[in-house]
Amino acid sequence: MAIVQPQPATEDGRRRLSLSNPVDRHHVGDLEVSTKAEVDAAVERARKAQAEWAARPVAERARILRGAIDVLVRRRDEIVEQVRAETGKPKAEALTIEVVPACDFVNFWCKRAPKDLRDEKRRLHGYLLPMKKLRIKYQPLGVVGVITPWNAPFVLSLNPVVQALLAGNSVVLKPSEVTPRSGELAVKVLHEAGVPTDVLQCVHGDGETGAALVDGAVDKISFTGSVQTGRAIAAACAKKLTPYTLELGGKDAMIVCDDADLERAASGAAYLSMFNSGQVCLSVERIYVVESVADEFIRLLEEKVSALRYGSEDGDVGPLFFDRQVDVVSGHLEDAKNKGAKVLVGGSRAAGDGLFFQPTVVVDVTHDMQLMTEETFGPIATVMRVRDEDEAVRLANDSQYGLGGSVFTKDAAKAERIGGQLKTGSVVHNDAAVIYGVPEAPFGGRKDSGVGQVNGLDSLRGFTHAQPILLTRGGSSNESVWYPYTDKTIRNLEGLIQHGFGNKFIRKLLS
> Which DSSP string corresponds to 41-108?
HHHHHHHHHHHHHHHS-HHHHHHHHHHHHHHHHHTHHHHHHHHHHHH---HHHIIIIIIHHHHHHHHH
Beta bridge partners of 117: none
Q: Is pLDDT of 1 > 50?
A: no
Per the prediction, the chain carries an average pLDDT of: 95
CA distance 278 to 287: 14
Residues in CB range of 115: below 8 A, 6 or more apart: none
**Which pLDDT belongs to residue 353?**
86
From the list 249, 264, 255, 272, the residue with the least C-alpha distance to 416 is 255
Residues in the chain: 511
pLDDT bracket for residue 3 (50, 70, 90): low
Question: From CA 203, how far away is CA 14, in angstroms rounded?
Answer: 13
- Lowest model confidence (mean pLDDT) among 283-292, 344-353, 446-455, 470-479: 470-479
State which of 13-27, 429-443, 468-482 shows the largest mean pLDDT.
429-443
Q: Using an 8 Å Cβ cutoff, are 339 and 332 in contact?
A: no
What pLDDT is attached to residue 11?
64
| 247 part of the active site | yes
CA distances from 272 to 158, 163, 268, 276, 445 (A): 23, 27, 6, 9, 18
User: How wide is the angle at C-alpha 309 spanned by C-alphas 303 and 310, nearest 5°?
Assistant: 125
Torsion over CA: 276, 277, 279, 284 (sign): positive
Over its C-alpha atoms, the chain yields an Rg (Å, rounded) of 26
Mean pLDDT of the region 325-333: 97
Mean pLDDT for 92-110 is 98
Rounded CA-CA distance 455/83 in Å is: 23
Domains defined for the chain, CATH in brackets: 33-248+457-465 (3.40.605.10), 252-446 (3.40.309.10)
Q: Report pLDDT for 48.
A: 98
Q: Which stretch of DSSP H or E encloses residue 338?
A: helix 323-338
CA distances to 122, 151, 263, 421, 482 from 400, rounded to whole Å, are 39, 21, 30, 16, 53
Per-residue 3-state assignment (H helix, E strand, C coil) for 193-235: HCCCCCCEEECCCCHHHHHHHHHCCCCEEEEECCHHHHHHHHH
Would residue 237 show up in a list of annotated catalytic residues for this protein?
no
| Angstrom distance (rounded) from CA 308 to CA 266 | 13
Distance between CA 76 and CA 97 in Å, rounded? Answer: 12
For the chain, the first-to-last Cα distance in angstroms comes to: 60
What pLDDT band is residue 25 in, cutting at 50, 70 and 90?
Answer: confident
325-341 mean pLDDT: 97
> Comparing C-alpha atoms, which of 216, 254, 284 is closest to residue 47?
216
In tens, the pLDDT along 247-299 reads 999 999 999 999 999 999 999 999 999 999 999 999 999 999 999 999 999 99
pLDDT per residue over 469-480, tens digit each? Answer: 999 988 656 677
pTM: 0.96
Q: Which of 98, 184, 247, 285 is catalytic?
A: 247
Please give the pLDDT value at position 314: 85
What 3-state DSSP class applies to 277?
helix
Q: Which of 120-134, 149-163, 335-349 has the lowest mean pLDDT?
A: 120-134
Q: State how beta strands 380-386 and 360-363 pair.
A: parallel
Instruction: Assess whether pLDDT exceeds 50 at residue 312.
Output: yes
Catalytic hit among 202, 237, 257, 281: 281
Q: Which residue has the higher pLDDT, 207 or 480?
A: 207
